[in-house]
A and B are shown apart, each in its own frame.
Chain A
């Protein structure tokens, strides 16, 4: 039996007025898959997010979220299947406490109060925000507000998470929290689509790279293959993240792109080498 993709773009074309932003875009994401949406500023990435959340409808083609055609849905409905976090999410929190804000989504879905509590607690714990649950969101520094916004999306427990630049303004420790939380969800079959400039974060968290260039797909392959290849990245305006560059330079077996994998490979190769 064929598995329905979590997300499918079918020949999607979209224009703002006379300007064509997306041309014939087609790809699909399976449940549990972790995908990076890469590309220069202006390539159309944010438009992809707007189409998935139902804020815009495609000019031509279809956007499928599961078996729902976004043309037949409004954003409030799609919230049942898609958890989204836009850029500058730290500006949209509105409840008196972090907990109240995070629980807003599941409550709006209409699941029972107990279930709302469970989802909220889990989302807060995943991002280590439990200690701040009782604080007013605007008492937190912007970096933690961003995490609170992400927790709000996680609490929806959707089948698909779409995040637009979730790591801007976060330091390494906070980025690691986000990575852990997303990997955990993905293990539970949640599909991820993350727009990011941070290739290091992408290497740690995601497994497949879609590169948009002027509205069409320039590239769709595994991140491990893509990130180590300077010749592919350069024309796309991207540079290999340090760990991938290190793997290539030292010719590490398997060309790992994640820090932990590279450390292991390095240790193994070092052990196998003759001493100095």
Chain B
């Protein structure tokens, strides 16, 4: 119960307005779980499990919202992750907005050719296929070209990359990380005692 409250309060830390967005996203993402839980369990169990799930969801949403992707990438590089591993990690983060933009452009182009994304189920399935195929094919085609481009920009396995702006990592922060890890382990042990 307490953890849930803390987690949800944490979502407000990025600032009043963005905090509310995060808060709302967390609640909306967790909502379907509550519905299914209620269908399966009685009220007290629903609340207990529901709060746990909401806490987890809220933590992830908060993490995604506050974590600046460039700092994360720089941190992996500074930590000495191999170039390819760091790239895979970063590319996964950036892939979503890129694909989303491309999907939007494809849907717009289809609409301008008369394809209506609304209406009957048959219509919607057709619209989905008209989106999925070019999205996947162009993305795959891009992968080929991207491999070439990255190679020529020096991203070869074994490359030792200079970190551009490694996030500062003070002794206090390091200590805090270890302490948190220890606390998690302790909580697990206490749980299963």
Contact = CB atoms under 8 A, between A and B. Distances in A.
A and B touch in the complex (CB under 8 A): yes
Interface of A: 53-55, 74-76, 78-80, 82, 84, 86, 88-89, 91-94, 104-105, 108-109, 138, 152-153, 156
Contacts of B112: 53-55, 75, 78-79, 82, 84, 86
B71 interface: no
Given A138-B137, A138-B141, A92 B114 contact: no
Contact of A92 (B116, B129, B134, B141): B134
Considering residues B113, B116, B133, B138, which has the most beta carbons from chain A within 10 angstroms of its beta carbon? B113
Contacts of A75: 108, 111-112
A105 B109 CA distance: 11
A109 B102 contact: no
A109 B114 contact: yes
A153 B113 CA distance: 7
B47 interface: no
29 contacts: A53-B108, A54-B112, A55-B108, A55-B112, A74-B111, A75-B108, A76-B115, A76-B116, A79-B111, A80-B114, A84-B109, A84-B112, A86-B105, A86-B108, A86-B112, A91-B106, A91-B134, A92-B106, A92-B134, A93-B134, A94-B133, A104-B113, A108-B113, A108-B115, A108-B116, A109-B114, A138-B137, A153-B113, A156-B113
B130 interface: yes
Interface residues of B, number: 20
Contacts of A89: 109
A54 B116 CA distance: 13
Query: Interface majority SS on B: helix, strand, loop or mixed?
Result: helix
Interface string B111-124: 11111100000000
Contact of A86 (B109, B115, B116): B109
Given A93-B134, A94-B129, A94-B134, A156 B109 contact: no
B106 to A, nearest CB: 5
Contact of B111 (A76, A104, A152): A76
Nearest to B138: A91
B116 to A, nearest CB: 4
